[in-house]
C-alpha cells in the first residue's frame, strides 16, 4: 500500500459488539497517542455471543464498510467473538488492513506453572474452529479449561462490574477452575478486563489474569508501520489525539464507561449502520409490535 501523508493522519477504526473494545482503545491510546480513533459500539445488537455465525459476519462486514466510509485507514476488530467468527471473511472484503483479537492461550501456556489454565470467553468464541486451532497450536501440555461466560457481557453492557449477583455468577465460573488447580485465567473477551476487580475479589493472587489488549495495540503498531500508515504526534502534543465515539444504541453507557475507564468525557453519536440481518430483524420487530 502506498501511503500519502493524508493517509497517515486518517483515523483507526475500532469496533466491538459493545463496550468491551474500550479496554483495547485504552491500550491503543497509551501506546499510540498520535492515532485518531473512531470507536463503534454495536450495543443495539450486543451481545454477539448469543447470535448466529451469519449475523456476526454480517455486522462485522457492515461496520467495517461503514468505518471505511468514515475514512478509517485500518480496522481493529476489538471483539474475540467477531474475530473468531468472521475476520477471515471480512479481511477479503475490506480495502484496509485488519487487526483481530484472540484469547491469550499462547501467553497462558508460557506462564502457567501448574499447567492448568482457565479460558473465559463467549460460547461462540469457544466453539469456533479458530479457537480450537489456537489451542492445538499453542497449548502443548497445558490443560485448558474452557468456560463460557454467560451473562458477563450483559452485566458490563449495563455497567455492572461488581454487584452481588455478578459475583455469584463469576464464582460459579471460577471456583471449578481453582478446584482443578488453574493458576492462570485468560480473559478471552474484551468486556472481561472491566471485571478485573470482581475476579480478583474471588481468586485473590491465586491466578494470573491474561488480558491481550496491550499485545493488540502492539500488533496495530506493527501493521500500521508495515503499511507506512503510522501517525506522527504533532510537535508539543501532550494529550492523545481525539477519539470519536459512536454507538448503534443511545450511547449513555458508552459515555459512562469511557469516562470511568479512560477519563474521557466525550459526547457519543448515535449512528445507524443497517445490514442485511438487522433489516430483517427490524422488520420482524415491527410486525410483532
Which residues have a catalytic role annotated? Answer: 79, 189
Supply 23's cell numbers.
Answer: 479496554
> Scanning the structure block, which residue is given the C-alpha cell 459476519?
57
Contact pick of 14, 22, 46, 271 for ligand DGL (by CB under 6 A): 46
Closest to 52 measured CA to CA, from 82, 21, 88, 73? 82
Contact pick of 43, 60, 80, 213 for ligand DGL (by CB under 6 A): 80
CB of 150 to ligand DGL, least distance (A): 10
Residues linked to residue 118 through DSSP beta bridges, in sequence order? 145, 185
CB of 76 to ligand DGL, least distance (A): 12
Q: What binding mask, one character per residue, do residues 126-155 give for ligand DGL by CB under 6 A, x or -?
A: ---------------------------x--
Contact pick of 43, 85, 190, 212 for ligand DGL (by CB under 6 A): 190
Q: Is residue 183 involved in binding ligand DGL (CB under 6 A)?
A: no
108-152-242 Cα angle (round to 5): 80
CA dist., res. 144 & res. 117, Å (int): 5
Closest to 193 measured CA to CA, from 173, 169, 210, 178? 210
Q: Is residue 17 involved in binding ligand DGL (CB under 6 A)?
A: yes
Query: In the chain, how long is the greatest CA-to-CA distance?
Result: 57
Contact pick of 189, 198, 229, 271 for ligand DGL (by CB under 6 A): 189
Residues that bind ligand DGL (CB under 6 A): 16-18, 20, 46-49, 79-81, 122, 125, 153, 189-191
Amino acid at each position: 500500500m502506498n501511503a500519502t501523508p493524508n493517509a497517515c493522519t486518517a483515523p483507526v477504526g475500532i469496533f466491538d459488539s459493545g463496550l468491551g473494545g474500550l479496554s483495547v482503545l485504552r491500550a491503543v491510546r497509551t501506546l499510540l497517542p498520535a492515532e485518531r480513533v473512531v470507536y463503534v459500539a454495536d450495543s443495539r445488537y450486543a451481545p454477539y455471543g448469543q447470535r448466529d455465525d451469519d449475523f456476526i459476519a454480517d455486522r462485522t462486514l457492515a461496520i467495517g464498510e461503514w468505518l471505511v466510509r468514515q475514512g478509517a485507514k485500518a480496522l481493529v476488530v476489538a471483539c474475540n467473538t467477531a474475530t473468531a467468527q468472521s475476520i477471515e471473511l471480512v479481511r477479503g472484503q475490506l480495502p484496509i488492513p485488519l487487526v483481530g483479537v484472540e484469547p491469550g492461550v499462547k501467553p497462558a501456556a508460557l506462564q502457567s506453572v501448574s499447567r492448568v489454565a482457565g479460558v473465559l470467553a463467549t460460547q461462540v468464541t469457544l466453539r469456533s474452529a479458530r479457537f480450537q486451532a489456537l489451542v492445538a497450536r499453542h497449548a502443548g501440555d497445558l490443560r485448558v479449561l474452557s468456560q463460557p461466560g454467560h451473562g458477563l457481557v450483559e452485566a458490563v453492557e449495563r455497567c455492572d462490574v461488581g454487584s452481588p449477583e455478578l459475583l455469584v455468577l463469576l464464582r460459579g465460573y471460577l471456583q471449578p477452575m481453582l478446584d482443578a488447580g488453574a493458576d492462570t485465567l485468560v480473559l478471552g473477551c474484551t468486556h472481561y478486563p472491566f471485571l478485573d476487580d470482581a475476579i480478583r475479589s474471588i481468586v485473590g493472587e491465586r491466578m494470573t489474569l491474561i488480558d491481550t489488549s496491550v499485545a493488540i495495540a502492539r500488533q496495530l503498531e506493527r501493521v500500521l508501520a508495515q503499511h507506512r500508515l503510522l501517525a506522527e504526534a504533532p510537535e508539543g502534543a501532550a494529550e492523545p489525539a481525539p477519539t470519536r465515539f459512536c454507538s448503534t444504541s443511545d450511547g449513555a453507557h458508552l459515555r459512562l464507561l469511557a469516562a470511568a475507564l479512560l477519563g474521557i468525557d466525550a459526547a457519543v453519536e448515535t449512528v445507524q449502520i443497517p445490514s442485511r440481518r438487522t433489516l430483517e430483524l427490524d422488520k420482524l420487530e415491527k410486525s410483532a409490535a
